[in-house]
Amino acid sequence: MITSVRADEAAYETMRALLLVGGMGTRLRPVLSSKPKSLAPIGDISFLELLALQLRSQGIHRLVMCTGFQAEQIEEEFGDGSKWNVTIEYSKELEPLGTAGAIKHAARFVSEASDFMVLNGDSFLEVDFCELIRFHRRRGACASIAVRRVGDAARYGTVHVDEQGRVVRFSEKMAIPEPGLINGGVYVFNRKVLRLIPDGPASLEKDVLPVLVEHGTFALEQNGLFIDIGTPEDYARAQSLCRQLSEAAVSTPHSTSQEHLTR
């Protein structure tokens, strides 16, 4: 038992998180013409710094930035990560690869790990990473997704789950507003997912997640703050929530400790 506990502790401490920050952010161009979307200012810091702080505050110190559009700005801003007491490496795509293609392009950073995390670079979800990782491992999942229940899931698409939390299907964005579970943009993947991503450009949401349903994909519902900055309206909302986002980024959930990880 002690050996098992120590193995789980080591796995958590060495967990890598891929941050998908290569998108062009076309819809934000009217308000953010000279920066990549992930560097959009939220108060005194960038949106991407909120994500880095959230990971660090919960003990995830090994980050990989999957960059593309205006990659140099992100590398100049974050460097090796020492300013935030994290280690940052970069996987730069030379042509747009989409969200799934970016993950496969970064395979060399995570192919030796049993599991790795992925975060969208344009959304923030208040989530207990330790709880999500533990949930993933206990179910022997191929993929685990943090989901959030919202009053209007129409613009996001819906995640459908059974009583055990297993994902049974994904629905595309709908024309009629209705409540539902949405993908919060935070994942834990087993490394075998890398083999299921096609070569070349591919979308995680459209091309890969529907395939992963057949391989054991689970969803863990979260109740905290959720925001994305995909549109000028949502970006304005994120700025209005600056203080709440900053507090959520540095808060430490109760289960984020090695003691709780292995229970």
Do residues 63 and 88 make contact, with C-beta atoms less than 8 angstroms apart?
yes
Q: 37, 83, 92, 173: which is the annotated catalytic residue?
A: 173
Residue 62 to residue 15: CA distance in whole angstroms = 7
- Could you tell me which of 179, 123, 186 has the C-alpha nearest to residue 153? 179
- Measured N-to-C along each axis, helices 232-240 and 242-250 cross at an angle, to the nearest 10 degrees, of 70
* 173 in catalytic set: yes
Active site residues: 173
